[in-house]
């Protein structure tokens, strides 16, 4: 994917987010479902460093294949888009796979995220997930002119950019 095309996404809070953004880089994150222990663990790192991310000129937009009502109960400092039918997932080529949970790096993230969920740090996921539990993550960094500066299609549930990788992609994109 070389161009993201123009989109307006409606967030769970009722905001409309335009992509590309005329002034900012946009980091589109495709996560799994509300309460996913692996996603919670990852997004905690994004929340912790959100000021650093915004200072780098990046706007976060995070997609979940959960209903908006489930996602409205979370308090994230970035735009959250509900996509329970996975329409945007399909448009951006983000897939599901049995291998999502098979990689050893996923197991350690599941254990850490589940332990924090059981301790009450993170909210438990719904018992059933309309979009399934086997989603793969994806990350896209989109320039103001719509070019996709970097993309990553995860090969397992814990295969996403770290904040440091995101910031490095933003720095590299600024020099293009």
Q: CATH says 7-174 is which class?
A: alpha beta
- Distance in angstroms (rounded) separating the CA atoms of residues 128 and 107: 20
pLDDT tens-digit readout, 45-95: 999 999 999 999 999 999 999 899 988 988 899 999 999 999 999 999 998
Closest CA to 32 of 136, 111, 107: 136
Q: What global pTM score does this model have?
A: 0.84
Q: Where are the domains of the chain?
A: 7-174
Q: Which two tokens stand for residue 127?
A: 């018992």
pLDDT at residue number 126: 55
pLDDT at residue number 107: 60
Longest dimension (CA), the chain: 46
Question: In sequence order, what are the beta bridge partners of 25?
Answer: 58
pLDDT at residue number 86: 93
- Segments of the chain with pLDDT less than 70: 1, 97-134, 174-176
pLDDT at residue number 43: 86
- Distance in angstroms (rounded) separating the CA atoms of residues 110 and 142: 29
- Distance in angstroms (rounded) separating the CA atoms of residues 141 and 13: 23
């Amino acid at each position: 994917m070389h161009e993201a095309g123009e989109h307006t996404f409606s967030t769970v809070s009722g905001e409309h987010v335009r992509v590309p953004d005329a002034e900012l880089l946009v980091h589109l994150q495709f996560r799994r479902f509300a309460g996913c222990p692996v996603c919670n663990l990852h997004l905690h790192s994004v929340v912790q460093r959100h000021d650093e991310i915004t200072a780098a000129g990046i706007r976060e937009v995070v997609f979940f294949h959960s209903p908006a009502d489930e996602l409205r109960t979370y308090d994230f400092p970035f735009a959250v888009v509900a996509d329970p039918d996975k329409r945007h997932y399909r448009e951006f080529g983000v897939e599901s796979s049995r291998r999502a949970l098979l990689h050893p790096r996923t197991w350690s993230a599941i254990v850490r995220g589940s332990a924090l969920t059981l301790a009450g740090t993170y909210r438990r996921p719904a018992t059933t997930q309309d979009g399934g539990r086997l989603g793969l993550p994806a990350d896209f960094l989109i320039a103001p002119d719509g070019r996709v500066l970097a993309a990553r299609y995860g090969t397992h549930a814990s295969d996403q950019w770290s904040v440091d990788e995101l910031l490095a992609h933003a720095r590299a994109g600024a020099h293009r």
